[in-house]
Structure 1
Amino acid sequence: MTAAREAAGGDPRATLDPATRERDVRPIVARPRPGLSAGAITLTAIAAAALLFGLLEERRRAAVVPAVAPSGAAEVVAAPPPLMIPPAPPTPAPSRAVAPSAPEPHPMSAPVAPAVSTHARTPAGATGPSVGTPAPAPAKTPSTPAAPPRVAPGQALIVDTSAPPDVDHGTDAAADEKNGAGRQPVLSTSRARATMLANRATTVAQGTLIPAVLETGFDSTSPGFARALVQRDVRGFDGTRVLIPRGSRLIGDYGSDTQRGQNRAVILWSRLIRPDGVTIAIGSPAADPVGRGGVRADVNTHFLERFSGAILQSVLDLGVTMAGRGSRSPVIVALPGAGSRVAATVPATGSDIVPTLRVPPGRSVGVFVARDLDFTESEAAR
C-alpha cells in the first residue's frame, strides 16, 4: 500500500476504493515530506557563524591598520637635527669718562644810562605843556576771604538767670502748662543751694506717686476729660498727717493727637478734690502703677482701613493683567498704567489714619506729682 501511495504521488486517496472513498467521512491527510536533519542544520549554523566571525575580524583589522603605508616613511631620520645655538653677544667697549668743559665767560654789558629829555626846562611861572613823571600805581592789598558763619554743632544751652533764686514751687499756679505731659527735660547748669523744705508735715513732695483708679473711659478719637479716684491715703513729707485721703477725686483732660506706634494714653491731671471739699491745682501727668509715663491702652491700628487701598490696587492690577491674556495664549500681556488709572479714583486715606487708643473704666493708674503740694492753709483752717 505504501508503494502504491508513493506511486500515486503521496496522495492516500489514490489507494482507496472509489466506493469506499465516497462513504468514508474521515479526512484524508498526506504526510509531510522529510527535510534536513538536525545535524545538518547544526553544521550549517556553525559554518555561517565562522564565516561571519571571519568577515568581522577582517573588517576590524582593516580599520586598525592602514592599508597604505605613509609616503616617505623610509626617509624618516632616526635622530633629530641639532639645535641652533645663537652666537654670544659682543662685549661692549669700556666707556671713558669725559671731563666737563669749562663754561664760556659771557661778556657783561655796560649799564645803560638813563635817557635825558632834550626839551628845555620851562621856567617858573611860564605856561605851556609840561611832561611830568607818572605817579606809581598803588599796590593792591590782598583781600582776605570772609570767614563763614560759625554753626554750632549741637543745640545751644540757654540758661535763664532772670528768675529770682528762691521760688516757691508749691504756690506757683502758672506752672501747670509747663509740667504737663510731653514736657522735654531741661538741663540747668546754674549754682544750686540747699534749703530746708518748709511745712514738711503739710507738704506732699514732688515725685510722690498717688495710686488711683479710672472712673471714666478713655478714647483718643476725640479730646475729652477724665476722672479718677484715689485708692490709698497719701501722707505728708514727714508721714505724720494724711493730706490726700482715700476717695479723693482727680480731674484731668486728654487730647486726640495720637502718633504711629503709640500704645500709652497721655492724661494730664489738673485738679484734686478731697472729700472734705479742699481742692488744689495738682498739674501732674498720669502714669501706670509703677511710675512709667502714660497709661497702658488697647490699640486699634485700623489695618483694613489703612491698607484697603493698596489691596484694591493690587487686585485691579491683577485683573487687568488677566484680562489682557488670551484664552489659548500662554503669554500674559500687562498694559502699563492700566491699573494705576483705575486705582487713581480710590482715595488714598491710609496715610492719614492714626491708631485709636482706648482705656476702659476701672483700670489702675497713678499720678506722678510734678511739684510740691502745700496744704498748710487748709490744715490750719480745720
Structure 2
Amino acid sequence: MTEAVIAPAPKVDPETLAIRARPARAIRFRRGVIVAIAALGSISLMAVAWVALKPRVFGTVADRQELSEPSNRPSTDSLNGLPSTYGDVPKLGPPLPGDLGRPILEHQRQMAAETGSSVDAAGQAAAQEPERRLAELKAARESGVLVQGRSAPPPTAETDAAAVPAPAPTGAASPTLDPDRDPNAQGRKAQFVGTLDQSGDVNPHALTAAPSPYLLSAGSVISASLITGLRSDLPGLVTAQVTSPVFDSPTGRILLIPQGSRLIGSYDSVVAFGQKRALVVWQRIMFPDGSSLRIDNVPATDASGYAGLQDKVDFHTWALLKGVALSTLLGVGSQLTVSGESDLVQAIRESTQQNVSRAGDQLTSRNLNIQPTIAIRPGATVRLVVHKDLILAPWREKER
C-alpha cells in the first residue's frame, strides 16, 4: 500500500483576515411609539391631578340650619309699637338745656377753623406784618441819636426783643401729609410756592474768619475703601481705609489726614421694604500714630455722592414664593367639602379647615415681614463728606 500524499491547503489572503468581532446591531425605536408613550403619560398625570383636586364625591355643602336659634321667633313688643308711616311719627318739642347738639356743632366748627388756619399760612404772615412794622418803629424811636457827644444808654432787654422781627410761624407752614384726601400733596406744594419770605433782604449773619490755618472746611471729601464688608441682617461696625491724602482747605498744601488712616463707623440694620441702599455713618478718624478724632455720625456716600451704599440686595423672593405656594395648597384643602357626612365629622372638618387657613395666612404674613438683606462687599469705594469744619494738626511722620 502506498500512502496518499495530502496536498497542503492554499494560503489565505492577509487582507481578508479581521482581528475584531462584528459590532452589535443597533436597536432603534419608532418615533410614533415614543410620541404615543409620552402623550399617554401626560394624559395619565393630568387625570391623576384632576382626580386628586376635583374628586367626584366632592360638592358644596347645603345651607345648614342654625340649631341655636329657633326658626320662628316672635317679634318683640317694642317693634310692634313702632309707627307704620312717617306721618305717625310723634313730633319732638324744643331742645332741652342739656342737649348735646350745640357743643358738638361748636366742636366741629373749631376743628374746621384749625384746619383752615393750617392751610392759610400766607394770610397769617400778612396779618403779622403790621405788628412787625410797629415793633421796628418803636425800636427806632427808643434808640439813641447817632450824632451826639455823650454815649447812648445801653439797650434794654425789652428794646432788643422789640427790635427783632417776629419770625413767621413754621408749624402752620408745613402741615402734615394726608394721603387719603390729597395723595400727591398738591396743597402742600401750592402752599410752599405761595409762602413769602419775611426774614428781610439782608443776611443777618456776619463774615467769620477761619479759626485755624489747619482747617478742613465743610464740604471737603475724604476718599476711602471698605476694609470690612457689611450685611444688614445684624448690626455691626464697619471700617474703611483712606486711599488719598487730605490737605487743608485754605491753602491745599498742608497735609492733615495721611493716606492709610482709617474710618470707623456703623450701619443701620433696619431695612424698609424696597430699600436698596445701606445707611452707613462714620464716627471716628484713626490716624497712623494712634491719635483719633471723633466726628458726629457723618453719613457715608458712594463715589457719585449719593447717600448710602449699594451693592447686592436679597429680597428673599424664594422664601416668599414657597410661603405663597404652601398657603395656596392649604387654602385649597380648607375649601374642599364632602356631602353626606355626620354633624361630628362636619364640625371636625370645619375646625381643621379654619386652623389650616389661619396657619397659611400667618405663614404668608411672616414671609412678607422679612426685611430685605443688603450686602456690601469689602473693597467698595466710599466717601466721607465733611458736614462741619474740622480743626486738625499738621501731619508729620514720626521717626522710628
* Superposition TM-score, scaled by structure 1 size: 0.45
Select the structure that is richer in helix.
2
* Superposition TM-score, scaled by structure 2 size: 0.43
Structure exhibiting the larger radius of gyration computed from Cα positions: 1
